[in-house]
Structure 1
Amino acid sequence: MASAPPSKQRAKSQATRQKLIAAAAEEFRTIGYFNTDTNKIALRAGYAPATFYKHFKNKLSIFLAAYEAWVAEEWRALEAADDDAETLIRTVLAHHKRHLLFRTDLRALATTEPEVKRYQNKLRREQVKRLAELAPDLAPDGDDWSAPVFLLLTMERVSDAIADGSAKASHASETKLIANLIKLIDSLRH
């Protein structure tokens, strides 16, 4: 039996929640987690500050929701991209560059907030499973998920290093780093 459609109130509540998440994601992307607060997020979404607390416990809880939305956005972009390795890498890299402050704050929070670390691990497990589904050559060898985990973590960290300038500061060529990621993907696909 199909479930009943959500009530107008429930639909309105879900729309409000999504607007708050979108506003938070934009705050985190443009000024960073540590430079905003729940009032600014609510106001950016077009709501009074009290509305925020009807949907989220605190700033960290909406950060986790924004993180989940960030991962979903990245996957949509990857699924829309061509299947060749360079296009995939450039898609990830563009996403990381666009969300540099968010990614920087995510790494910082993952080291200081156990809830963020747990959530990051959960989302990474989901990403690794999706990688294995999209690229059967990356499927686990029994219980060993090393190949897709290695690819995910390498792409993530190299993309972050290019995005934040630390790769360039270390005298690494973006072009050569991308070429090495292409070789990595190609080697794992065969």
Structure 2
Amino acid sequence: MFIMSQQPVDRPRRGHPDDTRERLVRAAAEMFNTHGYAGTDVRRIVAAAGYATGTFYRHFPHKGAALLAAYEAWVVAEWEALGAAILAPGSAGERAERIIDISADLHARWHGLRDALAGYRLVDENATRAYRELQRRQVAILARLREQISPGTTRPPEADVLLVMLIERAVESMAIGEPAELGLSWDTMRALLIRAVTDALRDGDHRT
């Protein structure tokens, strides 16, 4: 889950092409997260990764492709973390608290990357198609997790997806300081989110 870290990228050494691509994706994630879509170019990415421009173009046709790869890696890392939080031992309330705190942390630390993708989607319709495909993957992951914690549940998938959308909107608002600007308490919002997730986890969950 390299995307979870914001540590400086080490000086690269010759290695497998997959390692080179991963290093480029990691550097791209850092740059887009810091400088946004418009403020990031290929030169900035390769400088952060420690490669020449030609190396970048052996792996990606343009910076937008690198952004999509970085966002995909972020999504994979996020759901690995959330999956572990859901399946780890504990009560429904304890698991719900982990889910909310992990989501809030990841969205706060990587808000710039998500914002960069939103900017890219405005100028390239292929980006929106790629984004929708990632969303479908997330829905499938969510369905598998639900089956693991609640085999044979009758809870509709729309209910779980709606809950995820609610969580994402809430933690995104926290990332840009909306609750404070509106005179609202994030602690109260967090408690309400935890309660909603707890109820969802208990719905058909025979382990708690």
Return the alpha-carbon distance in structure 2 between the equivalents of residues 14 and 39 of structure 1.
20
Give 2:172's match in structure 1, choosing from 136, 150, 160: 160
**Larger relative contact order, structure 1 or 2 (CA cutoff 8 Å, min sep 6):** 2
Please list, as runs of the form range in 1=range in 2, the aligned pairs for 1:8-87 lying within 5 A after superposition. Answer: 12-81=16-85, 82=88, 84-87=95-98
Q: Which amino acid aligns with 1:118?
A: R
Name the counterpart of 2:128: 117
Shift of 1:145: 3.3
1:94-127 CA-partner distances (Å, limit 9, x unpaired):
0001112112222333344322221221111111
One-letter identity of the residue aligned with 1:96: H
Aligned twin of 2:185: 173
2:134 and 2:120 map into 1 onto residues whose CA distance is 15
The amino acid of 2:133's aligned partner reads K
- Matches of 1:145 and 1:118 in 2, distance apart? 22
Off by >4 Å, runs of 4+ in structure 1: 137-142
- Corresponding residue for 1:187? 199
Which letter does structure 1 place at the counterpart of 2:161?
V
> Structure 2: where are the runs of 5+ without partners?
1-14, 204-208
Return the match for 2:118 from 96, 107, 118: 107
Matched, 1:126 2:137: yes
The total of aligned residue pairs comes to 179
User: With structure 2 as the length reference, what TM-score do the two structures score?
Assistant: 0.77
Q: Structure 2 counterpart of 1:150, which letter?
A: L
* Identical residues among aligned pairs (%): 36
Output the CA distance in 2 between the equivalents of 1:119 and 1:112: 13
AA aligned opposite 1:163:
A
Which residue does 1:94 correspond to in 2? 105
CA RMSD of aligned residues (A): 2.3
Deviation at 1:141, TM superposition (A): 6.3
- Name 2:146's counterpart in structure 1: 135
CA distance in 2, matches of 1:61, 1:139: 39
SS in 2 for 1:34: coil
Look up the SS of the partner of 2:56 in the other structure: helix
Moved more, 130-139 or 80-89: 130-139
With normalisation by structure 1, the TM-score equals: 0.84
Shift of 1:140: 8.7
Q: Could you tell me whether the CA contact under 8 Å between 2:32 and 2:40 is conserved in 1?
A: yes
